[in-house]
Amino acid sequence: MNLHDLVEASDIAGLLRHVDLRVKDRDWAEVLETGIRCRAAIERGKQLGGVTQYVEYRMALDAPAPLAASVVEEGGGRSTLGPLWEVMASTHTWEDLEPWLEPGRVRMMVAHERSLRGDVVADTEADGSPLVTPLAVEEWEPTYPPAEYRPDGADFPTPPAVALTALQLGQDSDVMEDVESEDALFELVRPWVDQSNGAAGIACIEGTAEAAITALGASAAEGSDVQFDVALSHMTWAAASGGAYGTRRGNPVGRSHAWYAASTLLDIDPAELPVAHQSARWLLWRSPGQTSGWEFGLAAEHGGFAWALYAHDRIDDDSETGAHHDGATGS
């Protein structure tokens, strides 16, 4: 069938094949036309939203930089796999994209993403950014595993695994109210809870990291003291992820939330983090009973106080696990 007939028949499978073939032929005019006709058909009640999302996704992923930038700027939305700016930035360099990006959020996010991937980006691109992180990766920071987008899915690699051993948990301690720190820690996993099946617990106490874990109700735990760069990589992974069903936020956003959470616990400005992080103890941990799904456990100890966060998420039916989901564990 031709494009008109595919649209009128609401043939989603046929339309997706049509897009794939036109992308293979580099027939971008026809790919764009498919999106235009499907959007018009949606206004007539046809259920073709998935096709329009796929058109935007393939344009962001595969089209030449000027076209990719125009689609992402115009749509400003997200694909089912991740934010379109991250999709585009995964396959196009900053040098290619920079002339075609208008000032604004998309340009800023692409600048941060391409900087994380090793491109040299002018510091001025961070002017006015709501992210608390610098554009360039600091020497003491980890390497943040980049998202890998494909026509049929995506991979979001986890940081290197940390060997965990049984922890000697501390005695019960009274939980303190520390709203600012609790909010900063919760922000690391907010999409897991607000948009998916996840749950999270946070405790702040006067005492040790192990006692903070106990305060969350854990009777047993496995964990390991880690250097801050390792903790930061896992914090960024968690904050970038959408969990099982939530919207992925991307590495630049995840990194910013990780910097903010760490600096909040240390009661410093994020700009002081490169030096001040050495004054704290960082620990990754997990519940021995959690065997599948998304999991993230973090504890920190500083100045006589300690905090613990534990979050987990899951897929309703393991048989439907898709390549677009983030990795299974955060530690």
The alpha carbon torsion through 208, 214, 215, 219 (nearest 10 deg) reads 180
- pLDDT for 245-277, tens place per residue? 999 999 999 999 999 999 999 999 998 988 877
Q: How confident is the model at residue 316 (pLDDT cuts 50, 70, 90)?
A: confident
Q: Comparing 221 with 288, which gets the higher pLDDT?
A: 221
- pLDDT for 186-221, tens place per residue? 999 999 999 999 999 999 999 999 999 999 988 899
- pLDDT for 163-190, tens place per residue? 999 999 877 777 888 899 999 999 999 9
Q: How confident is the model at residue 328 (pLDDT cuts 50, 70, 90)?
A: very low
**What are the φ and ψ backbone dihedral angles of 312, each rounded to 5 degrees?**
-145, 155
The percentage of the chain sitting over the pLDDT mark of 70, rounded to a whole number, equals: 93
**286 close to 297: Cβ distance less than 8 angstroms:** yes
* Statement: residue 77 has pLDDT above 70: no
* Statement: residue 21 has pLDDT above 80: yes
pTM, 2 dp = 0.91
- For residue 287, what pLDDT is reported? 86
Taking the chain, what is the end-to-end CA distance rounded to the nearest angstrom? 49
Measured from the Cβ of residue 146, the count of other Cβ atoms closer than 10 Å reads 18
- For residue 107, what pLDDT is reported? 95
- For residue 159, what pLDDT is reported? 93
Tell me which residue of 169, 181, 163, 168 sits closest to 230, measured CA to CA.
163
